[in-house]
Amino acid sequence: MVLNKDIDRHNFQPKKFILWLFIVSSIIFFAGLTSGFIVYTGDAGKKLNVQLPHVFIYSTAVIILSSFTLHWSYLQSKKLKFTQQKVGLWLTFVLGILFIVLQVYGWAVWTNLGVFFINSNASISFVYAFTFLHIIHIIAGLGVLIAALVSSYGKLPNVTNSFRMEIASIFWHFVDILWIYLYLFLLLSQ
């Protein structure tokens, strides 16, 4: 028993650590972008003078909700209730897709107003860049969710299932928090 635990720990601990390090580098990536925004608005004297699309409030709500569904699914998998786990994962997945749709709708709203990506005020281009690069992270998150889904259906051992579940939770909560950070950052610099 002790032996088994030991082996699992050595199998997964370094790999989980890799995920945390990836998250660190991702944080640095967005820290670089947002400080680029600060330098730009400070130097060029051009502020973000357009209101953010209203739909971003809804997309924020959706992504927060998806974190809750994923956490619920995670708790169910801990209790070995695999049907509920699958339901939770599917809900999260659908909410993730919905989030992307809402973000793209946000772009459409701005473009219809004539607030384009290609803009002489690059702080607006920055908003498009932030959301686009965040969506790429969301897509990566969807990939991790698919991996968790596959292992919840498949005949894989439960250790793998719960490991993937853990990876999915950590990463998905991260992209959730990342969006909240970006949204708050943009709201505050409006």
Partner 1 sequence: MSTIAIHTSATMHHHDDHSHGHHKETFLTKYVFSQDHKMIAKQFLITGIIMGVIAMTLSILFRIQLAYPDHNFPLLEVLLGKFAPDGRLDPNFYLSLVTIHGTIMVFFVLTAGLSGTFSNLLIPLQLGARDMASPFMNMLSYWLFFSASVIMLSTFFIESGPAGAGWTIYPPLSALPKAMPGSGLGMTLWLVSMVLFVASSLIGGINYVSTILNMRTKGMDLWKMPLTCWAFFLTAVLGILSFPVLVAGIVLLVFDRSFGTSFYLSDIYIGGQALANEGGSPILWEHLFWFLGHPEVYIVIMPAMGIASEVMSVNSRKPIFGYHAMVYSLIGITVLSFIVWGHHMFVTGMNPFLGGVFMITTLIIAVPSAVKTFNWLATLWRGNIRFTPAMLFAIGLVSFFISGGLTGIWLGNAALDINLHDTYFVVAHFHLVMGSAAIFGMLAGIYHWYPKMFGRLMNPKLGYLHFWLTFASAYLVFFPMHFMGLDGVPRRYYAFTEFESMQKWLSVNVFITWAAILGAVAQVAFLFNFFYSIFFGEKSTQNPWEANTLEWTTPVERIHGNWPGEIPTVYRWAYDYSKPGHDADFITQNTPLSETMSSNLPHDFAGNEEAERIQEQWNIEHKNIDSREEVK
Task: Examine residue 1 and tell whether it contacts partner 1 (CB under 8 A).
Answer: no
| 11 lies in the binding site for partner 1 (CB under 8 A) | yes
CB of 116 to partner 1, least distance (A): 9
For partner 1, give the closer residue by CB, 90 or 117.
Answer: 117
Residues in region 37-76 near partner 1 by CB under 8 A: 39-40, 43-44, 46
Round to whole Å and give the CA distance between 146 and 141.
Answer: 9
Is position 129 an interface residue for partner 1 (rule: CB under 8 A)?
A: yes
Whole-number Å distance between alpha carbons of 93 and 106:
20
- Min dist CB 47 to partner 1, Å, is 12
Q: Which residue type is seen at 62? A: V
80 interacts with partner 1 by CB under 8 A: no
Residue whose token pair is 């640095």: 28
Q: Which is nearer to partner 1, 13 or 158 (CB)?
A: 13
Answer yes or no: are the C-beta atoms of 123 and 47 closer than 8 Å: yes
C-alpha 22/C-alpha 2 separation (Å) is: 30
Residue 44, Cβ neighbours under 10 Å: how many? Answer: 11
In terms of Cα–Cα distance, which of 183, 186, 2 is closest to 99? Answer: 183
The residues binding partner 1 (CB under 8 A) are: 3, 6-7, 10-11, 13-15, 17-18, 21-22, 24-26, 28-33, 35-36, 39-40, 43-44, 46, 117-122, 125-126, 129, 133
